[in-house]
Amino acid sequence: MNQHSLKKSQEFSQLKILLPILIPIILFSLLPLGRGIYLGFTDYTLGSSIKFNGFENYFQLFKDHYFWKSFQVGIVWTIAVSLGQLILGMVLALLLHSRIKFFSIYSVLIVIPWAMPPIIRGIVWRQIYDPDSGILNSVLMHLNMIAHPINWLSSFEHVIPAVIVAGIWGGVPQTTIFLLAGLKSISSDIYDAAKIDGAGLWAEFSRITLPLLKPTLAAVICLNILWNFNSFGLVYVLTQGGPGGMTRLPMLAAYEEAFRYGYVGYAAAIGNVMIIFLSIILYFYLRIQFKEQVK
């Protein structure tokens, strides 16, 4: 058998094994996705017929103040939340990795936010931020840091930080666990060698941990950015995008366009713009990862 036909027969037998995943993937992912992308180039509204209208939606998006605003909110949210998750996750992972006492108890406790469905995360934080019965106001007033209760989720000034704090909280466990797995895969021999050379903690971190953790870090940062930019449940429950669109993330904007106003075509167009934006992020991630492999 020559090389070519060997490859062909391999492909065929692989196709047979992959069929059980390929059929659902095509039916419930690729087909709807292709259709969804197409809908972004139509004027489809719920209940009406579908008509192709080229780039009309995108010209409208370009002029749509609410769309720009939601994208801007989305970017601020994504950067702040991903950065917070990264810093806190890194600190926790490093400390937990350093043979700290009570490691087992800590590692179970830190996953609690992860175990809560996003809806419940929203419910909890709404309760914490509640202007009348929320614990945050009670604590701050008790400490005399504020004189009057603050309405965290409906004040223009406080809503963004408030939502971001809740957003970071939900993603720290995942980030920590992933980074911890990355740290574990670094051989301890390297650290022992560094200790003999008399390297301090900072030198150890910046010369060994950070460079060896780079592939894991890149993956974690990239995934966090994708997930945070696409997030929906938490903010949907916390603020529903309010007050005045201050926290209307792109997903919430698209959801409203589609299911509140029925502008499915327009919502799909928002989705398409989101894909382009996230593809750029993914591209940079792959480039970093690829360079790493070439090394």
Partner 1 sequence: MMLSVRSVKQFIVKGLSQIIVLILLIYLVFPFIWLLSISFKSTPEIVTGGLQIIPKNFYFDHYRSIINDSNLIQSVLNSLQVSILSMTITLLIALPAAYSLVRYKTKIKNAVLGWILASQIFPAILIIIPLYMVLRYLHLTDSILGLTMVYVVWELPFVLWMLYGYIKNIPLELEEAAFIDGATKLQYVYRILFPVILPAIGATAIFAFIISWNEFLFALVLMKNPENITLPVQLSRFTGMEGQARIGLLAAASCLATIPSLVLFTFLIKGFKSGLSSGSVKF
How many other C-beta atoms lie within 10 A of the C-beta of residue 141?
A: 14
The answer to whether 234 touches 121, Cβ cutoff 8 Å, is yes
- As to burial, measured by CB atoms within 10 angstroms (0-12 exposed, 13-18 middle, 19+ buried), residue 263 is buried
Give min distance, CB of 277 to partner 1, in A: 9
**Nearer to partner 1 among residue 159 and residue 228 (C-beta):** 228
The answer to whether 247 touches 73, Cβ cutoff 8 Å, is yes
- As to burial, measured by CB atoms within 10 angstroms (0-12 exposed, 13-18 middle, 19+ buried), residue 44 is buried
* DSSP classification of residue 279: H
**Nearer to partner 1 among residue 35 and residue 207 (C-beta):** 35
Nearest alpha carbon to residue 107 among 164, 183, 162: 183
- As to burial, measured by CB atoms within 10 angstroms (0-12 exposed, 13-18 middle, 19+ buried), residue 153 is buried
Report d(CA 231, CA 131) in Å as an integer.
25
**Nearer to partner 1 among residue 199 and residue 219 (C-beta):** 219
**Nearer to partner 1 among residue 160 and residue 165 (C-beta):** 165
Q: For the chain, how long is the longest CA-to-CA vector?
A: 84
**Nearer to partner 1 among residue 140 and residue 208 (C-beta):** 140
Give min distance, CB of 5 to partner 1, in A: 13
**Nearer to partner 1 among residue 69 and residue 114 (C-beta):** 114
Please give the structure tokens belonging to residue 102.
């009570």
**Nearer to partner 1 among residue 159 and residue 220 (C-beta):** 220
For 249, phi then psi, to 5°, come to: -65, 160
Nearest alpha carbon to residue 129 among 147, 146, 161, 153: 153
Residues whose CB is less than 8 angstroms from the CB of residue 199 and which lie 6 or more positions away in sequence, other chains included: 207, 208
